[in-house]
Structure 1
Amino acid sequence: MKTSRLMGTAALLAITAFGAQSAFAWQAGDIYVRGGYEKSDSSSSNAADYGEKMDVNDDGGFAYGLGYLFHDNIGVELNGSQTTKHELGNLGGFERTPINLMVNYYPLGGHAARVNPYVGAGVNYTTFDVDNGFDASIDDSWGLAAQAGVDLSVTENVLVGAWARYADVDADMKIDGNNAGDLDLDPVSVGAGVTYRF
């Protein structure tokens, strides 16, 4: 009698433990929102008519994401960051607002794992706005984007994580009404934040 009760209790505990672990797995139907901070490192910009590379300073700010998994291993995510400000050498400043639409792959999706890495690829759209006093115009940019990250489950719904993103940002630029070549930024952003899963 005691043996059967012990075996039943052990089985119940095992099922409960497995169920608790499974709750941490990414799975089809999950919806999540993400917020955090990221730092963006941009390459120098080529200004052809000025005959030189011009340094573009780095900047950081709030980053966000909204995603949905339509398969245990595959999901879509819309992410970006707040408008960041850059200085183009000593010519003037401009602001950049990026938005990315990504398809993510979760290799451990559907498995009972507290740590879940992912990689993603998609498209980046970036808009620009130049500062007052800087006689320039910068076209919007479309380009490829990629990301890699990892999430750590703290509870069933709350996760903490880190990521790195790359975007191909290449926009036509005019300064003082003259063609100044391409504003070639290709920013690499590194960030960390908190995710809430529904």
Structure 2
Amino acid sequence: MPDRLRADARRNYARILAVAGEEVAAHGPNASLERIARVAGVGSATVRRHFPTRRALLEAVAKDQIEALGVRAGELLGEADSREALLTWLGEVVAYCVATGGLAAALAYDAEAVHDSACAADLMRAADPLVRRAARDGVVAQDVTVADLLTLIVGITTATERHPDPAAQAERLFRLAVAGVSPLTGQPGSVQPSAS
């Protein structure tokens, strides 16, 4: 009987996760846990047993995307232009956050527990070599961290989620952040916006 319970629990987990992915994509990070339970055909207590917090659910939903972004960071390390490699990766993180409402929430830091996000920790590990190489090459300020950049992205995507065209607005704000608000360009150590 215990083996059957474990198999049932695994099936419930997979069903909850699949439904949660659809609900978060459709309704954002505040998707109803009760609706997720109902559509998955389980009780709310079962959802909470597998995912004790909303953050745990959002991180599970974002897991595959986070892994893909980690792989992509590794691929971009092979690019000759460290600035373009970093900006390409950051642009892809922005696009993922806009396309999947829960990713920005999963990355967001809790004021009570800074850096307590598994998604953010995984992305920081993956992107750290990109940022360090760009800093070494003088195309990003020495004191910029991956955590700074992820916080900026979370802010941009959260602020634009209700915009009529969130993807275009998030991209615009990301490019503005990269360029800075000053018309001065070419400063040593500054990240310049790409022509694309």
Shorter-chain TM range is under 0.3
Larger radius of gyration: 1
Name the structure where strand makes up a greater proportion of residues: 1
Name the structure where helix makes up a greater proportion of residues: 2
